[in-house]
Amino acid sequence: MTTGPIGFGILGCGRITRRGLIPGIKGCPGAKLVALASLRRGVAAELAAEIAPGDKSLRAYDGYDEVIDDPNVQAVYIPTTGEEHHPWTLKAARAGKHVLCEKSLALSVREAEEMERVCREHHVLLQEAFMWRHHPRSKKARKLLRQGDIGELRLICAHFSFDINRSDWRLEPARGGGAVWDIGCYGVNASRYFAGQEPCAVYSRARFWESGADMTMQIALEFPSGVLANVDCSFEAPFRCEVELVGTKGTITLPDCFLPPARAELKVRKGTEPTDLAQTIQFAEANQYVEQVRDFVASIAAGQLLDPAESGVANMRVLETALQQAKTAKW
């Protein structure tokens, strides 16, 4: 049984590690960063010295296996490119480490299901790192939905787009690239989260890059309750990041839904007339990465994933269906 803070090891020192999980772990009393690794020699040591000067308990490695083998590590965070999620999750699980893995979980449903199965067999947790789910605003929006503040939910609209450099690895399908895998996954995740169900029908269309990666995609989802969702994502459009929940008696809008500012806002418009104004709910300063780590630590203590966490396999099923349909679309 683990006592004291959960020791985290991180496989990679890229942008998401620096701006996301390191602050997330440091901001959670129940977690401690004990190991950093990079495949680029010396990079982990430089980052360790930068974030924790003089801290001898933070180890820096020039390889991921050393983190997996470190006895002080109880949980690993995997922020690597998509093709590495599957093998490193299996290695971590077999070493008895809990896994917090970046989205999208894997390159295929088959890989995702194996990751979930191996983690279960070795009695460790696997959680997909959708940090936005853990923000107090997301939880509040779902609570308002469930208590009927905007009537019955009818429509979910989720948009996420930005323009990327055409040499970016995210345009390489073999590495888990493509708009739907990288950012469309958020809209699908939000639709499932707020609908509270798995979709029973998927419709998708896309525009593809010369590499075979999808650049822009639209996805329509239908849920058993009758809720409909419109999801769009793009690597060739201006920045957009919003979710709108449309009910029979009003709307709830989450501006900058997946990348909220320190003090996030929720806009609730009750009524059906054009003159009905939205009320703005302002939240106290919160870091969604801290909230994610805090919830993950609580799940480890409970021995099971606690709401709103999930393994990511169900989300992968929708993404794979959407991508396959877009690739084979015919009039």
Instruction: Of 146, 129, 149, give the one whose Cα is nearest residue 308.
Output: 129
CB 244 within 8 A of CB 251: yes
The structural architecture, per CATH, of the domain 6-131+290-310 is 3-Layer(aba) Sandwich (3.40)
pLDDT exceeds 60 at position 1: no
Tell which residue, 149, 150, 103, has the closest CA to residue 126: 103
pLDDT confidence tier of residue 319, bands split at 50, 70 and 90 = very high
- pLDDT tens-digit readout, 47-96: 999 999 988 899 999 999 999 999 999 999 999 999 999 999 999 999 99
- Return residue ranges of the chain for CATH 3.30.360.10: 133-286+317-327
What CATH code is assigned to 133-286+317-327? 3.30.360.10
216-267 per-position pLDDT tens digit: 999 999 999 999 999 999 999 999 999 999 999 999 999 999 999 999 999 9
Are 91 and 101 in contact by the 8 Å Cβ rule? The answer is no
Q: Where in the chain is the domain with CATH 3.40.50.720?
A: 6-131+290-310
Phi/psi of residue 308, nearest 5 degrees: -100, 20
Global pTM?
0.96
* Count of all residues that appear for the chain in the document: 331
Tokens for 125? 């947790």
